[in-house]
Amino acid sequence: EAGVTQFPSHSVIEKGQTVTLRCDPISGHDNLYWYRRVMGKEIKFLLHFVKESKQDESGMPNNRFLAERTGGTYSTLKVQPAELEDSGVYFCASSQLAGGADTQYFGPGTRLTVL
Amino acid sequence: EDQVTQSPEALRLQEGESSSLNCSYTVSGLRGLFWYRQDPGKGPEFLFTLYSAGEEKEKERLKATLTKKESFLHITAPKPEDSATYLCAVPGDNFNKFYFGSGTKLNVKP
């Protein structure tokens, strides 16, 4: 069974540019999560989808970040315009059931560098 | 907000030298505690879930235990391939989000 995949693995952009990250969850997993780890800090929650609906976006830093999950399959996370502090590793995870009832399986992450 | 604290930040062991990693948490009601292993350049890889105090889980040289306030990851006779960062996480109130600790970076020397 294929795991969670993310694209690209690395992205280097200039401040002010736009970047779109993609996540493909494990097939059949309705729950999809985005997390971020910035340098020297712990992994932090950004948002949670159940199918195509946003259940919790309390961790999104600001309105420069837009997540979508059209059709309830893959998800994209767009950063526009990117700022220096957006640099970090963005992880996507998926699960069949929510949080405490089920395990979240993580993708390899996208390392974003904003120059 | 729920807090998860891991110690030590880094641990250096000789091959075969057993030790334990700690994860302490402050949550209003535990909904499970998850251990992950993360290798450089990769995403967290699931190891164990513990749901109630007194529960134990084992996998090869790893054993995870849980009390009401903390969890331990015991590593028995580690090998160099056990070198990685070990993360613990707890779900939030609505199960949606995991709160992660900062991790323990384990280095096992041959």
Amino acid at A68: E
Whether residues B98 and A99 touch (CB distance < 8 A) is answered with yes
What is the mean predicted confidence (pLDDT) over A30-40? Answer: 93
Residue B45's beta-bridge partner residues?
B37
Nearest to B71 by CA among B84, B56, B58, B60: B56
Nearest to B87 by CA among B69, B99, B79: B99
pLDDT greater at residue A47 or residue B68: A47
User: Binning pLDDT at 50, 70 and 90, where does residue A27 land?
Assistant: very high
Give the DSSP letter of residue A26.
Answer: P
Whether residues B42 and A108 touch (CB distance < 8 A) is answered with yes
CB-CB neighbors (< 8 A) of B89 in chain A: 43
pLDDT at A40: 84
Amino acid at B19: S
* Angle (CA) B83 B48 B87, round 5°: 50
Whether residues A41 and B102 touch (CB distance < 8 A) is answered with yes
Distance from the Cα of A71 to chain B's closest Cα (Å) equals 20
Whether residues B91 and A99 touch (CB distance < 8 A) is answered with yes
